């Protein structure tokens, strides 16, 4: 088991920010989160292991599952609660059952960051057709961040919202890479980029 299982992401969000929680509510197929809840994202390989680990997590405490996803390569789940201790305890029990610790996760790597100033109206319209969050308004600055493993993008987005005035256009956290699109003024997007980068770089883990 230890040789086959890969803990790709173990990411704790201490307090879901208003926009981030609202966005998650538009895409989740499980229990709906609300602002202020704590959240834990766990991504793993092989993907089918997610069913066993979700079972462990939800039986451990009152934390409720918001996502349980298996895609081609990886599995990911999320649990949340207004009780931070419950979320942390669920995570601790999952790690204990797997014989792992949080530092055994893969350390996040930022694949790319882009700041696009004065977004063209036509590009804004194209992006708006695919977004699940706020509208991208022409002439705003667009921040695009891409990270691996994918589920870490949730932590990056939530931390960016703590530090900057942003609009969440879209977040994708499934697959080989996670991506987020944020918009606002140029100065706020610089602040958001720096906050997301600092948050991701602060996480310990192995080199995947």
163 touches 195 (CB < 8 A): yes
Report domain extents, the chain.
6-104, 109-201
Q: Which homologous superfamily is 109-201 in?
A: BMC (bacterial microcompartment) domain (3.30.70.1710)
Q: What is the DSSP letter of 62?
A: S
* CA 199 from centre of chain: 12
- Residue 118: exposure state from Cβ atoms within 10 A (0-12, 13-18, ≥19): exposed
For 42-91, what is each residue's pLDDT tens digit? 999 999 999 999 999 999 999 999 999 998 889 999 999 999 999 999 99
**Is the whole model's pTM more than 0.85, yes or no?**
yes
For 139-188, what is each residue's pLDDT tens digit? 999 999 999 999 999 999 999 999 999 999 999 999 999 999 999 999 99
**CATH topology agreement for domains 6-104 and 109-201:** yes
Which token pair is 65? 């599952």
Q: What is the CATH number that goes with domain 6-104?
A: 3.30.70.1710
Which token pair is 201? 């770089």
Average the pLDDT over 102-127 and give the result: 97
């Amino acid at each position: 088991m230890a040789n086959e299982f890969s803990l790709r992401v173990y990411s704790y969000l201490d307090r879901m920010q208003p926009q981030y929680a609202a966005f998650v509510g538009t895409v989740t197929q499980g229990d709906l989160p609300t602002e202020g809840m704590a959240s834990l994202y766990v991504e793993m390989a092989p993907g089918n292991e997610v069913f066993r680990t979700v079972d462990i997590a939800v039986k451990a405490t009152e934390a409720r599952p918001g996502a349980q996803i298996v895609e081609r390569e990886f599995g990911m789940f999320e649990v949340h609660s207004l009780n931070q201790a419950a979320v942390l305890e669920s995570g601790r029990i999952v790690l204990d059952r797997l014989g792992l610790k949080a530092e055994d996760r893969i350390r996040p790597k930022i694949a790319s960051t882009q700041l696009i100033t004065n977004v063209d109206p036509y590009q804004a319209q194209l992006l708006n057709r695919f977004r699940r969050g706020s509208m991208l308004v022409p002439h705003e600055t667009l921040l695009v961040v891409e990270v691996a493993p994918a589920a870490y993008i949730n932590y990056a987005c939530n931390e960016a919202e703590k530090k900057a005035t942003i609009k969440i256009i879209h977040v994708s956290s499934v697959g080989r890479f996670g991506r987020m699109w944020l918009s606002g003024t140029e100065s706020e997007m610089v602040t958001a980029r720096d906050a997301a980068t600092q948050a991701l770089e602060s996480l310990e883990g192995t080199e995947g």
